[in-house]
Amino acid sequence: MAEPLAAFDLLIRAGRAIGPAAGSDAPVTVAVRGDRIFAIGASVASTAARILNFPDAVLLPGLIDLHAHPAREGSIFGIDPDRDSLPHGVTTMLSQGDAGARNWPLYRQVTIHGSRTRVRLALNLSARGEQSPRGCFANLEDIDVDACVRTIEEDADHLIWGIAVNASHHACAATDPREVLRRALLVAEATGRPLLYGMRRPSDWSFADQMTLLRPGDVVTYCYRREPHCIIEGGRVHSAIRAARTKGVLFDVGHGMASFDFAVAEAALADSFAPDTISTDLQARHLGASPPHTLTRVMAKLRAAGMREADVFAAVTVRPAQIMRLQNEVGVLALGACADLTVLRWNEDPAQLLDAHGASRLAGVWETLVTVRGGQVVRAPHQT
């Protein structure tokens, strides 16, 4: 006699399920059919082809890394999102400028369509993207406004989220950062897309002047960097930075190799200035690090710096989903949403957490148990 067909493909039961969009925090069972969440509740009594039980763990929507470098080829910073991030709970990533107008077709084919991880792009204002160690705006001729606008307008699938522009000395070299931002804004206004912006040091160009040019919905990354880009002045958040938030400019962590400082984060959080989003700026130079540079570890650093757990979870789920205009698809535990899910365990044993400059804090960490991407289970690296 044939076995009866299972009602669902996957059931996940967790002692805590966090739905940041709805503010929910309770035991739950999530039922998955195909790539969709089909049922959700305190108890879903049914059969499934696969059942996973996590009574002592936390179930979240799949984590979203708003600033990283997923690029299988064509970028000097590129990492393989399926190998280097997906097993660590990240189901969606936004590339910070790995491709520009010239190499967008290759990036779309090889990285976006070639990855299991959901990848979107902040198109580099430089047409060549990040193909060379030389700053992408060192040659002003690489900024082709018309080519950027045309590339975005021809993106019928909306895989290009916005425009990446970094006004730093490294990115601009001798080029005037004011002209770089001016051209970025031309593209942004013509296409209705936001900017992912890296600030210039205020000794060259005041925070007030830079923030005045940014618009609601633009995202400032590297927000907890120490000098010379530090947002803390006299122990408080700089007035121009706070005014920018008031008008709707958003702020992202973008940890990276040099852009997260515990003292800055602690001062900002103490002054009620939490980041809108937490991101890794994961890039090739991080590969091989022990422990790995992961979004869950950056989340633990923000918690150690004083950020509330609920705000940490929102900053890697519902908030980046809203910013990326994917709020009905990802970042939520809701009927009909894509079955992108992450199961985390909190390890209370103190671990040494380092900022980008070697300062440390001892604190617990989140560990990824399982990632589900589009209804398919991805095992975490440490699991057998």
pLDDT of residue 170: 93
Residue appearing with tokens 């150690």 = 304
CA angle 66, 89, 252 (to 5 degrees): 20
CB 127 within 8 A of CB 339: no
Per the listing, tokens 């121009």 go with: 240
pLDDT in the model for residue 5: 59
Tens-digit pLDDT profile for residues 96-122: 999 999 999 999 999 999 999 999 999
pLDDT at 74 over 90: yes
- What does the angle CA 128 – CA 131 – CA 137 come to, to the nearest 5 degrees? 55
What span, in angstroms and rounded, lies between the C-alpha atoms of 309 and 317? 13
CB 151 within 8 A of CB 104: yes
Query: How do residues 21-41 score in pLDDT, each as one tens digit?
Result: 767 788 889 999 999 999 998
164-185 residue pLDDT tens: 999 999 999 999 999 999 999 9
Binning pLDDT at 50, 70 and 90, where does residue 71 land? very high
Q: State the residue for tokens 């991407």.
A: 373
Give me 172's structure tokens: 């601009």
Tell me what pLDDT residue 61 has. Answer: 96
Calculate ∠ Cα 43-338-70, nearest 5°.
130
Averaged pLDDT for residues 145-165:
98
* Paired residues of 160 in beta bridges: 121
Instruction: Please report which helix (H) or strand (E) contains residue 146, including its range.
Output: helix 145-153
Closest CA to 280 of 144, 136, 77, 110: 77
Give me the chain's average pLDDT, please.
94
Is there a contact between 110 and 72 (Cβ–Cβ < 8 Å)? yes
Q: What is the pLDDT of residue 19?
A: 76
Mean pLDDT value across residues 191-203: 97
Task: Tell me what pLDDT residue 2 has.
Answer: 38
Categorize the per-residue pLDDT at 381 as very low, low, confident or very high, splitting at 50, 70 and 90.
low
Question: How many angstroms separate the CA atoms of 245 and 191, rounded?
Answer: 23
> What confidence tens digit (pLDDT) does each residue in 346-371 have?
999 999 999 999 999 999 999 999 99
Residue 334 has pLDDT above 70, yes or no: yes
Residue indicated by tokens 């940890």? 255
Query: From start to end of the chain, where are the E strands?
Result: 8-19, 24-33, 36-41, 48-61, 63-68, 90-96, 118-124, 160-166, 195-198, 219-221, 232-233, 236-237, 250-251, 341-354, 360-373, 376-379
What percent of the chain is modeled with pLDDT above 90?
Answer: 90
Residue of higher predicted confidence among 178 and 3: 178
Q: 227-242 burial by CB neighbour count: b if 16+ within 10 A, else e?
A: eebbbbeeeebbebbe
**Beta bridge partners of residue 38, listed in sequence order:** none
How many other C-beta atoms lie within 10 A of the C-beta of residue 23?
Answer: 10
Which fold is adopted by the domain 63-323?
Answer: TIM Barrel (3.20.20)
CA distances from 229 to 66, 195, 204, 338, 383 (A): 20, 18, 10, 38, 40
Q: What is the tens place of the pLDDT at every residue in 219-270?
A: 999 999 998 889 999 999 999 999 999 999 999 999 999 999 999 999 999 9
> Other C-beta atoms within 10 Å of 56: how many?
10
Roughly what angle, to the nearest 10 degrees, separates helices 145-153 and 177-191?
30
Its sign, for the CA torsion 234, 195, 86, 13, is positive
